[in-house]
Amino acid sequence: MSAGGRDRELGMDRDITRRDFLNGVAVALTSALVPPRWLPAADGDAVPPGFYPPALTGMRGSHEGAYEVAHLLRDGAFWKTAGTPAATGERYDLVVVGAGLSGLSAAHAFRKAAGPSARILLLDNHDDFGGHAKRNEFSESGRMLLGYGGSFAIESPAPYSADAQALVKELGVDVARWSSVMDAKLYSSQGLRAGFFFDKETFGADRLLQIPTSTGDSEGADDEAEAKDGWPRFLAASPLPDAARAGLLKLLTGRVDYLPGLDETAKRARLARMSYADFLTGPAGMPREVVAFFQCRPHPLYGVGIDAVPAQDAWGLGLPGFAGMNLSDRPGPGMNYDSIRHKEADDYFFHFPDGNASLARLLVRALVPAAIPGTTADDIVTARADYSRLDEAASPARVRLRSTVVRVAHGAPRGDGREVEVTYSRGGKLETVTGRRVILACWHAVIPYICADLPPDQKEALASAAKVPIVYTNVLLKDWRAFQRLGVHRVHAPGGFHSSFNLDLPVSIGAYRFSRGPDDPIVVHMMRTPCLPGHPARDQHRAGRMQLFATDFATFERNIRDQLARALGGGGFDPARDVRAITVNRWPHGYAYQYNSLFDRFWLEGGPTPCETARRRFGSISFANADAGAYSYADAAIDHGLRAAREALS
Ligand X SMILES: Cc1cc2nc3c(=O)[nH]c(=O)nc-3n(C[C@H](O)[C@H](O)[C@H](O)COP(=O)(O)OP(=O)(O)OC[C@H]3O[C@@H](n4cnc5c(N)ncnc54)[C@H](O)[C@@H]3O)c2cc1C
Binding residues for ligand X, per CB under 6 A? 70, 97-98, 100-103, 123-126, 131-133, 150-153, 155-156, 356, 404-405, 441-443, 446, 450, 470, 472, 587, 590-592, 625-626, 632-634, 636-637
Residue of 620, 338, 457, 637 lying closest to 628 (CA atoms): 637
Nearer to ligand X, 252 or 621 (CB): 621
Q: Which amino acid is at 227?
A: A
* Closest distance to ligand X from the beta carbon of 65 (Å): 12
Q: Is 80 exposed, middle or buried (0-12, 13-18, 19+ CB in 10 A)?
A: exposed
CA dihedral 567, 572, 577, 583 (to 10 degrees): -30
Nearer to ligand X, 190 or 432 (CB): 432
Nearer to ligand X, 155 or 578 (CB): 155
What 3-state DSSP class applies to 637? helix
Nearer to ligand X, 252 or 527 (CB): 527
Contacts of 145 (CB under 8 A, 6+ apart): 137, 138, 139, 476, 504, 515, 521, 522, 523
Nearer to ligand X, 209 or 450 (CB): 450
What is the Cα gyration radius of the chain?
Answer: 25
Contacts of 156 (CB under 8 A, 6+ apart): 345, 348, 633, 634, 635, 636
How far apart, in whole angstroms, are the C-alpha atoms of residue 574 and residue 590?
32
* Closest distance to ligand X from the beta carbon of 156 (Å): 6
Nearer to ligand X, 100 or 332 (CB): 100
* Closest distance to ligand X from the beta carbon of 360 (Å): 8
* Closest distance to ligand X from the beta carbon of 239 (Å): 31
* Closest distance to ligand X from the beta carbon of 152 (Å): 3
* Closest distance to ligand X from the beta carbon of 645 (Å): 13
* Closest distance to ligand X from the beta carbon of 103 (Å): 6
* Closest distance to ligand X from the beta carbon of 528 (Å): 10
Output b/e per residue, 268-304; b: 16+ Cβ within 10 A.
bbbbbbbbbbbbbeebbebbebbbbbbbbbbbebbbb
Which phi and psi (to 5°) does residue 515 adopt? Answer: -75, 110
Alpha carbon 491 to its chain centroid, in Å, reads 19
* Closest distance to ligand X from the beta carbon of 640 (Å): 7
* Closest distance to ligand X from the beta carbon of 168 (Å): 11
For Cα atoms 588, 594, 597, give the angle at the middle one, nearest 5 degrees.
125
Nearer to ligand X, 125 or 238 (CB): 125
Angle between helix 162-170 and 101-114 (nearest 10): 80
Nearer to ligand X, 332 or 590 (CB): 590
Which phi and psi (to 5°) does residue 506 adopt? Answer: -75, 90
For residues 355 and 505, the answer to whether their CB atoms sit within 8 Å is no
Q: Tell me the CB-side half-sphere exposure of residue 380, using CA atoms within 13 A.
A: 23
Alpha carbon 376 to its chain centroid, in Å, reads 25
* Closest distance to ligand X from the beta carbon of 64 (Å): 14
Nearer to ligand X, 57 or 585 (CB): 585
Q: State the alpha helices, DSSP H only, in 355-446.
A: 357-367
Q: State the alpha helices, DSSP H only, in 11-64.
A: 16-21
* Closest distance to ligand X from the beta carbon of 124 (Å): 5
How far apart, in whole angstroms, are the C-alpha atoms of residue 551 and residue 366?
38
Nearer to ligand X, 121 or 192 (CB): 121
Nearer to ligand X, 145 or 363 (CB): 363
Residue of 219, 222, 197, 220 lying closest to 210 (CA atoms): 197
Nearer to ligand X, 207 or 459 (CB): 459
